[in-house]
Amino acid sequence: MKFSKTVCIWLFAMSVMVMGGTALAEQGSSALLHGLWSEAELAGTPADHLVTRPYSKPADLSPPDRVQPLVQPGFTPQRLRGVIRRVKIADGEKVLALTFDLCERASNRTGYRTEIVNHLRRRGVAATFFAGGKWMRSHPMQTMQLMADPLFEFGNHSWTHANLALMDEEETREQVLWTQGQYETLREKLALLAASRGLEGQMSHVPESMAVFRLPYGRNSAATLDYLARMGLPVVQWDVLGEGGAGSARDVALRAVKEVRPGSIVLMHANAVPKLTHEIVPIFVDELQRQGWSFVTVSGLLALGEAEAVQDGYFEKPGDNTQFDTGYPGKGTLHPVYGRK
C-alpha cells in the first residue's frame, strides 16, 4: 500500500517535470518523505499557525548547537555576485521561481502555514524556502519534512532576521554560519530517522548544505555582499511581490500573476505572519499553471540563464527599504519597541 502510493507520487512528480520541460535539481526523495511521514502528519494542524506575541518572553539569543558548519562552500562565482532579482531566460520560456521566507526574530516564535505547502505538493510545484536558522530550530520536524521533499530547496535567511546593512563582518558571519550549522544538525537528525526506517540510502539526495541566501529586509551594504561571496552564498531577492498591495487574496494573486515574466523570482512568506498568503498561493499557482508556466527552485532558475543583479536590495524601487534601518532594535533581530506590551 505504502509502496504503491510512493510510486504514484513519484510518477506524478516525474510527469510534472516532463510536462514542465524543466529538470529539477536533486534536492530530496519522495521515498524518504513518504517513508517517514504519513499524509496526515505532513498535512499538519492549525496549531502550526501559531505566532507568539513579541516580548511575551525574553528574547532568545542562544546559539545553535553547531556554530561552525562542517561544509564550507567555495567563493561565489562572479556571475552570481551582487543582489540577484531575476534571471534572464534566453528563449523566453515560461518559467519562474516561487520563494517563501520563513522569518523569525529573537523576540518571538513564528508559525508555519501548512496549507501553502500542501497545495504546492498537490500541484507538484517546486519552491525555495529561505529559512531563518532560529525558525529551523523552533520547527525541527517541518524543516526535516521540507528538506526531504524533492520539490523543495532551502536557502539561508540569517539566524534571527538580521539587518545586514548594520552588521560588521563578525556579526554577519555569525548570523549566516549559525544558520548553516542548524541546517546541518537537522540534516543529521533526518539521517538518523531515515536509518531507523532502512532509508539511509535516500540521504544522498538531500543536499549537505544550503547554497543560496536572502537578505532580511532586503538590506545590505557593499561589504555585506563581499562577506557573503566569501562564504559562497549567492544573494537572491525577487522582482515580484507575491503578497503586495491592497484588496482580497484574489486581487493580490491576480495582480502578481500579471507581473510575472520569464525568469521572475516571486516573494511570499510561509511563516503565518502575512495573513492572506495561504489564500493567495492556490489562486496564484493555479492561474499560472493554467497559463502554461512551470515552477523551479531558485537554484534551478539560476542554472537556466543569466542572473540580473543590482548592488542594493529593495522591495520595488531602489531605496524603498532604508526605513528598516531604524525601529527594529538589535540590528533588525528584535521587534519594534512600539510592539512591546
Residue 82 engages Zn ion in binding (rule: CB under 5 A): no
Contact yes or no for 157/183 (Cβ under 8 A): no
Strands of the 306-310 sheet, one edge to the other: 235-236, 83-88, 306-310
Enclosing H/E stretch for 121: helix 114-123
Give the nearer residue to Zn ion in terms of CB position, either 161 or 187: 161
Residue 101 engages Zn ion in binding (rule: CB under 5 A): yes
Q: Where are the alpha helices (DSSP H) in 206-338?
A: 222-230, 249-259, 277-290, 298-302
Give the nearer residue to Zn ion in terms of CB position, either 35 or 133: 133
Q: Closest separation between CB of residue 175 and Zn ion, Å?
A: 12
Q: Closest separation between CB of residue 280 and Zn ion, Å?
A: 17
d(CA 178, CA 287): 38
Q: Closest separation between CB of residue 78 and Zn ion, Å?
A: 27
Helices 169-196 and 222-230 pack at an angle, to 10 degrees, of 40
Residue 235 engages Zn ion in binding (rule: CB under 5 A): no
Q: Give the largest CA-CA distance in the chain.
A: 56
Give the nearer residue to Zn ion in terms of CB position, either 34 or 85: 85
The residue within the footprint of Zn ion, chosen from 32, 83, 95, 103 (CB under 5 A), is 103
Q: Closest separation between CB of residue 113 and Zn ion, Å?
A: 15
Q: How many residues bind Zn ion (CB under 5 A)?
A: 3
92 Rama class: left (phi>0) / alpha (psi -120 to 50) / beta: left
How distant, in Å, are the alpha carbons of 100, 111, 122, 177 from that of 156?
Answer: 11, 17, 25, 9
Residue 236 engages Zn ion in binding (rule: CB under 5 A): no
The residue within the footprint of Zn ion, chosen from 216, 218, 242, 282 (CB under 5 A), is 216
**How many other β-carbons are positioned within 10 Å of the β-carbon of residue 75?**
10
Q: Closest separation between CB of residue 103 and Zn ion, Å?
A: 3
Q: Closest separation between CB of residue 161 and Zn ion, Å?
A: 6
Segment lying near Zn ion (by CB under 5 A), choices 19-27, 40-48, 68-76, 215-223: 215-223
Residue 155 engages Zn ion in binding (rule: CB under 5 A): no
Residue 268 engages Zn ion in binding (rule: CB under 5 A): no
Binding site for Zn ion (CB under 5 A): 101, 103, 216
